[in-house]
Amino acid sequence: EIATYGTLHAYAKTLGENKAANLLALSLDEEKKTDALLTGIAMSHINKQAHKADAITNT
């Protein structure tokens, strides 16, 4: 979704569709924030839990 919004935003700017470009930029920013949040959760919780489960399984 990030790539899609980024591409559409650039395309809208190229076409001079400023209102559409601004709306797409907002959507792009929301997607980036969501991605950062989910990455943080994965790095701090889910990946650690998976590593522990793997260690238990392989012992």
State pLDDT tens for residues 16-30.
Answer: 999 999 999 999 999
Question: What confidence tier does 44 reach under pLDDT thresholds 50, 70, 90?
Answer: confident
Query: Which pLDDT does position 13 carry in this prediction?
Result: 98
Structural tokens at position 53: 């489960």
Q: Which of 2, 55, 59 is nearest to 30 (CA)?
A: 2
The span from the first CA to the last CA of the chain, in angstroms, equals: 40
What type of residue is 32?
K
Q: How many domains does the chain have?
A: 1
Range of the domain at 38: 2-57
Rounded to two decimals, what is the model's pTM?
0.72
The count of other CB atoms within 10 Å of the CB of residue 20 is 15
Question: What confidence tier does 58 reach under pLDDT thresholds 50, 70, 90?
Answer: confident
Average pLDDT for residues 33-48, to the nearest whole number? 88
Query: Which pLDDT does position 9 carry in this prediction?
Result: 98
